[in-house]
Amino acid sequence: MTSLLIVYHSQSGSCAALARAAAEGAAAEAEVRVRLRRACDAGVEEVAAAGGLLLVAAENSGALSGGAKEFLDRVFYPAIDRELVLPYALIVSAGNDGRGAVQQAERIFRGIPFKVANPPQIFRGEPGDRELAAAGDIGQALAAGLGMGIF
């Protein structure tokens, strides 16, 4: 059985809500185990045990939020050393733009190298029902792809 690791960093609660919605969507795929972790609690061991990664992060001051960046910094070299190549998806919660956070995360993911399973999604403003449903769809799609061996 493969697993999907969903890692999030949230200060306002927006990213936590999006991550929970993604986890609920992913849980619909019975053949994939879903693990939801705060960025400060996740490390390379969890990443190495996963079949795929979904990072849910905020944009702060035009860049990736500190907690998400710190998570990626901690796993970057150990993931390279272990030659991990995982499919990933990225959800960014942004108050305004979001593109800076996406660009920063994508540079890091390419350096490991992880492969894009789903184009990055930017949700601007407070997530409502539409954004939470979309996060659930992203989680389910990533889990389904992992379960079918597509990624």
* pTM for this predicted structure: 0.96
Contact 10, 66 (CB under 8 A): no
Torsion angle in degrees (nearest 10) through CA of 17, 22, 23, 25: 130
pLDDT at residue number 8: 98
pLDDT-derived band at 96 (thresholds 50, 70, 90) equals confident
Which domains are assigned to the chain? 2-148 (3.40.50.360)
Q: Phi and psi for 63 in degrees, rounded to 5? A: -135, 175
| 103: CB partners within 8 A, 6+ apart | none
Please check whether residue 25 is in contact with residue 139, taking contact to mean a CB–CB distance below 8 angstroms.
yes
Where residue 73 falls among pLDDT bands split at 50, 70, 90? very high
Distance between CA atoms of residues 18 and 24, nearest Å? 10
- Mean per-residue pLDDT of the chain: 96
**Phi, psi values for residue 88, rounded to 5°:** -140, 160
For residue 113, name the pLDDT band (cuts at 50, 70, 90): very high
DSSP state of 118: S
Residue with tokens 């956070």: 101
Cβ atoms of 136 and 102 within 8 Å: the answer is no
H/E stretch holding 126 reads: none
Q: For residues 1-22, give the mean pLDDT.
A: 96
Answer whether residue 1 shows pLDDT above 90: no
Is residue 89 packed enough to be buried (19+ CB in 10 Å), middle (13-18) or exposed (0-12)?
buried
